[in-house]
Structure formats: C-alpha cells, structure tokens
Amino acid sequence: MTDTPNRADRPTLYERIGGEQAVDSLVDVFYDRVLADEQLRPFFAGVSMDSLRSMQREFFCAALDGPAHYTGRPLSEAHHGRGIETRHLRRFLDHLLDTLEERLAEDDVLEVISRVNRYVGEITGRSDSSG
C-alpha cells in the first residue's frame, strides 16, 4: 500500500515538507552530494546542472503532489544508454535518503522514498524496483 488518496483536510506531501522553498533547497543539497560522489560525478560531466536542477525541482514537485507539472523528458528516455547500473542507482538513492533524513520527519522520509521508488525501473531499464 503506497497510495494514500489525497483528502481535502490533509496537506499534500509537498506542503507538509515545506513547499517550494523546501523542495528547492532539498534538490540543491542532494545534487551537491551526488556531484561530490566520485562514482556518480562522471555521469554528469557536460550536463547543465542548472537545467538539471530545475527539472529535478519540477519532478519532485509533481511526484509529491505539488502544484507544478513535470515538463521534462520521460525518465526512461533521459537515462537510457548512460550505463547506469543498480549500484549507481543505490548510491544515488542513499544520498537522497541522507538528505531527507537530515530535514524531514521519519514518516515523510519514507513516503518520499516510496514515491521516488516507483520510477526506479525507468532509470536502469529494469522492470523491477528492488534496487
């Protein structure tokens, strides 16, 4: 059970974690960690981090039921053919987990991770999401 219907009396996950500013700074801190990781940094060589960050903000906003719609490419298209393996994905998600744990309540951390986990199969091209 990962789907919780949004009820009018309950703030969205996006609102609970602090809205636009919180998501923006979360993405910034997260990407600083990813780029500081020697095993992940090479994947981002030559990629415009400004546009990646703004795309990621949009993505997280949409994934957390915030107001913005994601306007980027499908994740499978953006990641296909880059040689991203499960071990890279795991490190990436570990950085995300560390970033979230520093900032959010435990329940919110778990919910964000479970949302993001839905997209895992599109990143490595596998259909399972076991990481």
Question: Which positions lie near ligand HEM, rule CB under 6 A?
Answer: 40, 43-44, 47, 52, 55-56, 59, 72-73, 75, 78-79, 82, 84, 88-89, 92, 116, 119-120, 123
* Structure-token match 């490419």, residue found: 73
Q: Give backbone dihedrals phi and psi of 95, rounded to 5 degrees, phi first.
A: -65, -40
Question: Shortest approach of ligand HEM to residue 114 CB, angstroms?
Answer: 12
C-beta of 22 vs 93, nearer to ligand HEM: 93
Tokens of 36: 């500081």
CA distances from residue 120 to 9, 99, 117 in whole angstroms, order as listed: 31, 18, 5
Question: Shortest approach of ligand HEM to residue 13 CB, angstroms?
Answer: 15
C-beta of 1 vs 47, nearer to ligand HEM: 47
C-beta of 10 vs 51, nearer to ligand HEM: 51
Cα 10 to its chain centre, rounded Å, is: 23
Neighbouring CB atoms inside 10 A of 33's CB total: 17
Question: Shortest approach of ligand HEM to residue 44 CB, angstroms?
Answer: 5
Angle 94-97-98 (CA atoms, 0-180°, nearest 5)? 90
C-beta of 14 vs 59, nearer to ligand HEM: 59
